[in-house]
């Protein structure tokens, strides 16, 4: 006699019968019990995936950061607490997020306003606008001066990847925070304290890159090597998957940071020829549609065809179509409430050993191939 369950019972996760909201219901319970369907359901699944699987003891978490999130204060309010709790192990960010993040370590002010302002009047008064965020033009000029003065120093007079560059910059930003009593305001400073590597996939595409380019006109020996970043990010993921470990990617937005995080697996498998199967966990918050063919809307299933996501782990992938400025605070609050802090992996300090492991494996593969 067949004991197969009816289809409805097979596909049901739970009966829709949520409790009534109360004034004192904790946010995490709202997410678990009220966010049941549509993108609310996907956000709940994403929060639970992050806490229950991506933050497992042997899982390494990479963050892809795009969109102007740090100017909105989401660096200090959400990302810094996640870094300090050990919930983010490495980062690929747009340069703009890191540049605007620097304003806060320098004690500069950004202000909440509203959209639809008179942009001609703003320009005449030297006020910069990012949608409903406004700040004085001097924020840009002062931050430019900081980076040019900092990078004229002897420690920067060499070729390096962006992780090393941001680690050095973070050291000085952390010291500035300590001097001014602003500790915890700056993502780069917190990443330095916690040994979290921070990469920029397009180092010339931001005001930081613009200032480094200007220094070359002065004869600076500082040069950014993006190929170093390709290998170092691959080394992080390769090490994460050894000894029954796992790799998860948290994607805020999309664009180049998303691909740079995910391309680590094709680098390992397709280019270096090392045995691997793809990232284990994929969690993306985006407002981009997949049918336009743009990278930001590319689904985990599509990524799986490239070797970026392990096909056996595809069920552990969630795409939630919601603005990151809405999703990130909810995810952060949920994770910080539902999971104890993890020991810091301090991957930046382990980078030489990670690179040696990748280099040795690639060398051994080539020797075996040539034998």
Query: Out of 185, 241, 308, 313, which one is annotated catalytic?
Result: 308
Question: Among 365, 368, 345, which Cα is nearest to 357's?
Answer: 365
Q: Check if the beta carbon of residue 354 is closer than 8 Å to that of residue 347.
A: yes
The CA angle 190-192-195, to the nearest 5 degrees, is 110
Question: Among 131, 116, 119, 97, which Cα is nearest to 255's?
Answer: 97
Catalytic residue check, 185: no
Active site residues: 308
């Amino acid at each position: 006699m067949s004991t197969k369950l009816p289809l409805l019972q097979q596909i049901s996760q739970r009966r829709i019968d949520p409790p009534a909201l109360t004034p004192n219901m904790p946010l995490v319970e709202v997410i678990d019990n009220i966010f049941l369907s549509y993108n609310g359901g996907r956000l709940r699944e994403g929060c639970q995936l992050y806490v229950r699987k991506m933050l497992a003891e042997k899982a390494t978490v990479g963050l892809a950061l795009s969109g102007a999130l740090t100017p909105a204060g989401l660096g200090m309010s959400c990302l810094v607490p996640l870094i300090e709790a050990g919930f983010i192990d490495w980062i690929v960010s747009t340069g703009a997020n890191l540049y605007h993040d620097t304003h806060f370590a320098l004690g500069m002010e950004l202000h909440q306003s509203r959209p639809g302002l008179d942009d001609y009047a703003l320009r005449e008064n030297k006020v910069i606008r990012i949608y409903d965020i406004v700040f004085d033009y001097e924020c840009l000029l002062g931050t430019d001066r900081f980076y040019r003065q900092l990078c004229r120093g002897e420690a920067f007079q060499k070729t390096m990847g962006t992780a090393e560059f941001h680690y050095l910059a973070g050291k000085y930003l952390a010291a500035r925070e300590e001097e001014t009593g602003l500790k915890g305001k700056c993502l780069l400073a917190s990443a330095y304290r916690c040994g979290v590597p921070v990469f920029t996939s397009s180092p010339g595409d931001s005001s930081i890159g613009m200032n480094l380019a200007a220094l070359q006109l002065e004869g600076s020996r500082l040069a950014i090597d993006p190929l170093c970043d390709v290998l170092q990010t691959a080394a992080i993921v390769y090490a994460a998957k050894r000894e029954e470990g796992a790799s998860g990617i948290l994607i805020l937005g999309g664009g180049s940071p998303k691909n740079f995080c995910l391309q680590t697996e094709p680098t390992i498998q397709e280019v270096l020829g090392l045995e691997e199967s793809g990232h284990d966990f994929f969690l993306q918050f985006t407002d981009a549609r997949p049918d336009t063919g743009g990278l930001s809307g590319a689904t985990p299933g599509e990524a799986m065809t490239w070797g970026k996501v392990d096909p056996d782990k595809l069920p552990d992938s969630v795409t939630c179509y919601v603005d990151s400025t809405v999703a990130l605070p909810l995810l952060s609050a949920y994770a910080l409430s539902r999971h104890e802090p993890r020991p810091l992996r301090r991957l930046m300090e382990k980078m030489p050993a990670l690179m040696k492991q990748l280099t040795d494996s690639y060398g051994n593969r080539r020797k075996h191939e040539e034998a």
